C-alpha cells in the first residue's frame, strides 16, 4: 500500500525506505528513522541516516492521515525502521493503541527488531506490547557462528540471540528470523551452515527467511571483496551451504526464500517439506554444471546492487 507516494504525500507522511517483501500489502508506519546500531559490515541500508526516534505526536499525525483514507481497509501494519523496539515501551503502546483505534480491522502489526534489544527488554514489557497489538518481529540472525557474528559486527552472540528469540516467543510473538547465505564467504561456509542450524534449532522460530549475500556498494564487505580480503561464496558453495542448513534443521518453522537475492526458491514447512527442499537444491546443483541459462540466472543475481 504505497500511501506515502500517493494521496498522503502533501501531508508529509514519512515513508520508510525498507520493508520485508511479506509486508507489501501493509500500511507502513515509520516510528524511528535509521538504525541505532548501524555497524554490520554487510549492511548499507541506513548508512547515511542518523538514527532518531520520531516524536509520538508526529507519528499519531501520520496515523490520522492514513486513517482518513484507509481506516476500513488496513488489515496489516509494518513498523519501521530497523529497530523501533528501542523506543520507550509506554510510547510504543500509545502508538499501537492509536493504530488499533484508527484501523478497527487490523489483524497483524509487525516490526523489525534487533535481537540484542529483545534480549535486554524485560519480558513484562514485551508482553505489554503484545497485549497492545504488536504481533510479529522480524529479526536478523544472519549466522549462528560466534566467530562470524563477531567479524561481521552484528553486536550479538549466539547465546544472546537465542535468549532474545525465546523471550519473544514466550511473550506470545510470532518470530521471523533472517539468515544470510554466503556470509562466511568461500572459506567458512560449513561453519556458518552448521552453527546457523544449531541456533535455529534452539529457538524453533515460526519463520526462517533466507537471503543471499550479494555485497552492496557502501557496505564494508563490498569494499573488502573489491580489495581481495573477502572471497564471495561461489554459486555451488551457496547451494551446498543451504543444503547443509536444511539437512541439519530440527524445527517446525516455515522456511521461505522470499527475496530477490536468492539463487533458487527453496520453500516449505519443516519437517515435512525437507525432502522436497533438498531435492530442489540437488537438482540445481546438478544442473548448474551444464545449463548455461541457469548459470546466467545466477549471474544476474550477482549483479544486484540496489537491494
Q: How far is the CB of 52 from ligand SF4 (least distance, A)?
A: 14
Asked if 215 is part of the footprint of ligand SF4 (rule: CB under 6 A), the reply reads: no
Question: Reduced to 3 DSSP states, what percent helix, strand and coil does the chain have, rounded to the nearest 5?
Answer: 45, 15, 40
Asked if 40 is part of the footprint of ligand SF4 (rule: CB under 6 A), the reply reads: yes
Asked if 219 is part of the footprint of ligand SF4 (rule: CB under 6 A), the reply reads: no
Among 22, 65, 76, 82, binds ligand SF4 (CB under 6 A): 82
Q: How far is the CB of 8 from ligand SF4 (least distance, A)?
A: 25
Phi and psi at 139, nearest 5°, equal -130, 135
- Cell triple for 175: 518470530
| CA atoms of 83 and 113, how far apart (whole Å) | 4
Among 22, 26, 32, 38, binds ligand SF4 (CB under 6 A): 38
Asked if 277 is part of the footprint of ligand SF4 (rule: CB under 6 A), the reply reads: no
- Cell triple for 298: 545466477
Check if the beta carbon of residue 236 is closer than 8 Å to that of residue 217: no
Positions in 46-65 near ligand SF4 (CB under 6 A): 46
Check if the beta carbon of residue 116 is closer than 8 Å to that of residue 155: yes
Half-sphere exposure of 125 (CA within 13 A, CB side): 14
Asked if 222 is part of the footprint of ligand SF4 (rule: CB under 6 A), the reply reads: no
Asked if 45 is part of the footprint of ligand SF4 (rule: CB under 6 A), the reply reads: yes
Candidate segments 34-42, 206-214, 260-268, 283-291, binder of ligand SF4 by CB under 6 A: 34-42
From residue 80, how far is each of 3, 59, 159, 208, 293 by CA, in Å? 15, 11, 26, 20, 38
Positions in 143-202 near ligand SF4 (CB under 6 A): none
Among 30, 31, 37, 136, binds ligand SF4 (CB under 6 A): 37
Residues near ligand SF4 (CB under 6 A): 35, 37-40, 43, 45-46, 82, 114, 140
Amino acid at each position: 500500500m504505497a500511501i506515502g507516494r500517493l494521496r498522503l504525500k502533501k501531508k508529509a507522511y514519512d515513508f520508510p525506505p525498507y520493508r520485508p517483501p511479506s509486508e507489501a500489502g501493509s500500511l507502513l508506519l515509520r516510528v524511528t528513522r535509521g538504525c541505532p546500531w548501524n555497524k554490520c559490515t554487510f549492511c548499507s541500508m541506513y548508512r547515511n541516516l542518523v538514527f532518531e526516534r520520531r516524536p509520538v505526536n508526529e507519528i499519531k499525525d501520520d496515523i490520522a492521515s492514513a486513517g482518513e483514507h484507509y481506516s476500513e481497509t488496513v488489515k496489516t501494519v509494518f513498523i519501521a525502521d530497523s529497530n523501533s523496539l528501542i523506543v520507550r515501551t509506554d510510547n510504543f503502546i500509545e502508538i499501537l493503541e492509536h493504530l488499533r483505534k484508527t484501523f478497527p480491522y487490523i489483524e497483524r502489526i509487525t516490526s523489525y527488531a534487533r535481537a540484542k534489544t529483545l534480549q535486554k527488554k524485560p519480558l513484562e514489557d514485551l508482553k505489554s506490547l503484545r497485549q497492545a497489538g504488536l504481533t510479529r518481529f522480524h529479526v536478523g540472525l544472519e549466522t549462528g557462528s560466534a566467530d562470524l557474528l563477531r567479524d561481521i559486527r552484528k553486536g550479538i552472540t549466539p547465546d544472546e540471540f537465542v535468549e532474545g528469540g525465546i523471550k519473544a516467543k514466550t511473550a506470545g510473538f510470532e518470530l521471523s528470523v533472517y539468515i544470510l547465505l554466503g556470509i562466511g564467504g568461500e572459506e567458512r561456509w560449513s561453519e556458518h551452515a552448521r552453527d546457523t542450524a544449531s541456533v535455529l534449532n534452539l529457538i524453533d522460530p515460526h519463520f526462517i527467511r533466507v537471503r543471499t549475500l550479494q555485497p552492496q556498494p557502501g557496505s564494508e564487505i563490498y569494499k573488502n571483496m573489491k580489495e581481495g580480503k573477502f572471497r564471495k561464496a561461489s554459486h555451488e558453495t551457496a547451494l551446498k551451504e543451504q543444503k547443509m542448513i536444511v539437512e541439519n534443521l530440527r524445527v517446525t518453522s516455515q522456511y521461505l526464500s522470499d527475496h530477490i537475492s536468492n539463487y533458487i526458491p527453496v520453500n516449505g514447512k519443516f519437517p515435512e517439506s525437507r525432502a522436497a527442499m533438498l531435492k530442489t537444491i540437488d537438482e540445481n546443483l546438478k544442473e548448474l554444471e551444464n545449463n548455461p541459462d541457469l548459470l546466467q540466472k545466477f549471474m544476474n543475481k550477482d549483479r544486484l546492487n540496489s537491494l
